[in-house]
Amino acid sequence: MDARVLNEVNYPAAGDRGGTPAQWVRTVDVSAENVVRIFGTTPALHGVSLDIGAGELVALLGPSGSGKTTLLRILAGLDVPTSGRVLFDGEDALKLTVQERNVGLVFQNYALFRHMTVLENIGFGLRVRPRIRRPSRREIRRRALELLDFVQLTGLEKRYPSQLSGGQRQRVAFARALAIEPRLLLLDEPFGALDAKVRRELRRWLLEIHTKTGHTTVFVTHDQEEALELADRVVVMSEGRIEQIGTPDEIYDKPNSPFVYSFIGESSVLPVRVEQGKVWLDEHPLDLAAGAVPSGPARLFFRPHDVEVGNDLPGAIPGVVQGLRRHGGARRVDLEVGGRGDRVEIELPADYSLNLSGRVAVLPRRYRLYPATTQTNLS
């Protein structure tokens, strides 16, 4: 992290503590190696490996039950893997207790201490330190006020959590986590309990905080939009496994599995056949390259908006319009395709003239083919 950036925001006043700014942002890189977690007989994580660089903002994205929260809790030290290793800066983190890991945790429901004021909440991590490492009372108060200012809640120090809005509580939870000068920030569905508008505000705010403080940050979410918008890298998880790790662009544009394709963004799926390097829909050859997909049944994935439409497109997918819906500035069309009554969804400009039961041919501009034998986790 660049020292100049930190001095600019003047948080936390590093000079006062006599160290260089680099010393208090002791952020770490994190590695999980083959982490397995079994609850009773149910495996929650099947050998997950993951490298997170220092200062990176990483999203763990997946449906519920995908193991993302379990992985986060293992990184935090709140849970212990059945086997595998967790390293902070190359050192075994599993040897460290929750307290020793020095990790800033933010929960979905904030877990603020309800009997303490905002200021007491923020100062808690400093107050409970063993006497030798505990700052003076005045110093704790000063730092807590500074953090309150940093999360833009100046003036609310005497409030109790129950007197705050959801967004404000979440900011207090951040300030409390930052107060212990954590080496790593872990956020469990940080915006899950907030309404859509506050959620968007806080997303931008989280990005600002991350840019200012430079903490390695891992957050769990089931909201792909949130993951794609915020994270440097997204880890897509499903059923205790990592499906794909990549930048938001890679995840969105080059999903490596049917699961990721259908989980991220909107998608239409069509069962097809690959023969002699060509893609066939029933007996109709499509103008699509099969690439490296082997001969046999396959599944064609494409995004509803990534299509070309016309009636004289050679090698296009012919369909019958079954439904028309207005969708923002565009129109969504349900098409029945092929002999088995398969349905796909496409998106057209709102002024495109189409009638129910009308015929139209569609050619995906961008698409991905997966052999049909590949497991999809979304049925």
Q: Give the DSSP H/E element, type plus range, for residue 128.
A: none
Q: Does residue 82 interact with another protein by CB under 8 A?
A: no
Closest approach, Cβ 124 to another protein, in A, equals 6
Residue of the chain from 55, 104, 258, 338 that contacts another protein (CB under 8 A): 104
Question: Is there binding between residue 167 and another protein (CB under 8 A)?
Answer: no
78 binds another protein (CB under 8 A): yes
The nearest distance, CB 19 to another protein, in angstroms, is 19
Q: Which parts of 106-125 interact with another protein (CB under 8 A)?
A: 107, 109, 111-116, 124-125
Strand-strand pairing, 184-188 and 103-106: parallel
The smaller minimum CB distance to another protein, of residues 95 and 115, is found at 115
81 contacts another protein (rule: CB under 8 A): no
258 forms part of the interface with another protein (CB under 8 A): no
Interaction between residue 105 and another protein (CB under 8 A): yes
Residues 168-227 within binding reach of another protein (CB under 8 A): 176-177, 179-180
Does 96 bind another protein (CB under 8 A)? Our answer is no
Q: Under the criterion CB under 8 A, does residue 160 sit at the interface with another protein?
A: yes
Tokens 């690959």 found at: 274
* Count of residues of this chain found to bind another protein when the rule CB under 8 A is applied: 29
Per-residue burial over 281-303, b if 16 or more Cβ lie within 10 Å, else e, is beeeebebebeebeeeebbbbbb
Per-position DSSP letters for 210-246, written without gaps between them: HHHH---EEEEES-HHHHHHH-SEEEEEETTEEEEEE
- Parallel, antiparallel, or unpaired for β 57-61 and 217-221? parallel
User: Residue 72 and residue 67: Cα distance in Å, rounded?
Assistant: 9
Our measurement of the distance from residue 17's CA atom to the centroid of its chain's CA atoms, rounded to an integer in Å, reads 35
**Among 5, 9, 98, 289, which residue sits at the site for another protein (rule: CB under 8 A)?**
98
What SS3 class is residue 135?
A: coil
Q: How far is it, in rounded angstroms, from Cα 129 to Cα 140?
A: 11
Judged by CB under 8 A, does residue 162 bind another protein? yes
- In DSSP terms, 271 is beta-bridged to 299
**Angle at CA 348, nearest 5°, toward 342 and 349?**
165
Shortest Å distance, C-beta 176 to another protein: 7
Q: Which is nearer to another protein, 44 or 112 (CB)?
A: 112
Q: Which residues bind another protein (CB under 8 A)?
A: 76-78, 98-99, 101-105, 107, 109, 111-116, 124-125, 128-129, 160-162, 176-177, 179-180
